[in-house]
Amino acid sequence: MLMPDTKSALLAALDWQIELGADEAISDTFQDRTSAPPPPKKAPAAPSSPATTSSVSTTEIAENCTDLVSLKTAIANHPHALREGARNCVFADGNPAARIMIVGEAPGRDEDMQGLPFVGRSGQLLDKMLASIDLNRHSEDSAKAVYIANILPWRPVANRTPSVGEAAEFKPFIDRHIALIDPAIIITMGNVSTKTLLDTKTGIMRMRGKWTEAPLGGKISPVLPMLHPAYLLRQPQDKRHAWADLLSLKSHLESQK
């Protein structure tokens, strides 16, 4: 039983704490705040983990891929922050035997959902553009078929433009992709694809429609830069440039028959 004086002192101390705003008990046991706290416990050392593909360069990984299946697996398993915000690895679409390979920049929302490149509004426009010169990504005739891939296999958050570093990291994969497809013509669509594959700082508006050659896929390949369909949806007045480039592509194909 507490003595009257002791009880009064405790009640006074409790009233004082309430006035200070302490209205809730946070511990069932007494804690002495006047003494020095005990030294913090050292966290146990993290166990060593086996080496992952992140310790190997993308160039080495890509060079070890001998077919499209192994390349797709390597890309899907390659650790990268973009994977965290994406649903699907977007590898490619079209006929692998095609003479023409189109390389875009990165998947958008629709592409991320379906796991295929150029299937949204820009993809629908691309299909119409190809059909205007008798090309089709799903044609069984290799002379009329098209194969499509992107620099990045993962959708950047909010469809932002891929960074230079991201494009550089995945460039060995797309270069190996080109080597396995071995197309007669490569079309770079948009700024990112053109600058990455042609190793240039020149913008697409100055590069579009100008045939060039570049060391891609282990050989010197003819390359035609073109405006990206997504850009054409925003700037429809520039579709005339795209039409001129399509006619140039058609003429080039006919000259090779």
In a domain, 127, yes or no: yes
Residue 57: which H helix or E strand, with range?
Answer: none
How many CB atoms sit inside 10 A of residue 249's CB?
21
CATH of the domain at 137: 3.40.470.10
Write down the pLDDT at residue 112.
96
Residue 169: the pLDDT is 95
Residue 123 lies in a domain: yes
Please report, for residues 52, 106, 162, 221, the alpha-carbon distance to residue 62 in angstroms, rounded to integers and kept in the order given: 15, 19, 20, 19
Q: Which two tokens stand for residue 158?
A: 């909010």
| Domain assignment of residue 62, yes or no | yes
CA distance 4 to 99: 100
The answer as to whether 26 is a domain residue is no
Residue, of 6 and 92, whose pLDDT is higher: 92
pLDDT computed for residue 73 by the predictor: 97
Q: pTM of the full predicted structure?
A: 0.78
Exposed, middle or buried, 160 (CB in 10 Å: 0-12/13-18/19+)?
exposed
Total domains, the chain: 1
Q: Name the amino acid, one letter, at 233.
A: L
Residue 20: inside a domain: no
Question: For 26-45, how does the pLDDT look when each residue is reduced to its tens digit (9 = 90+)?
Answer: 544 445 555 555 555 544 44
* 15 domain residue, yes or no: no
Q: Does 44 map to a domain?
A: no
Length of the chain, please?
Answer: 257
Structure-derived torsion over alpha carbons of residues 175, 227, 147, 197, reported in degrees to the nearest 10:
-10
Of 82-86, 101-105, 223-227, minimum mean pLDDT range: 82-86
Tens of pLDDT, residue by residue over 37-70, are 555 554 444 333 333 334 478 999 999 999 999 9
Residue 138 lies in a domain: yes
The residue range of the domain holding 148 is 56-255
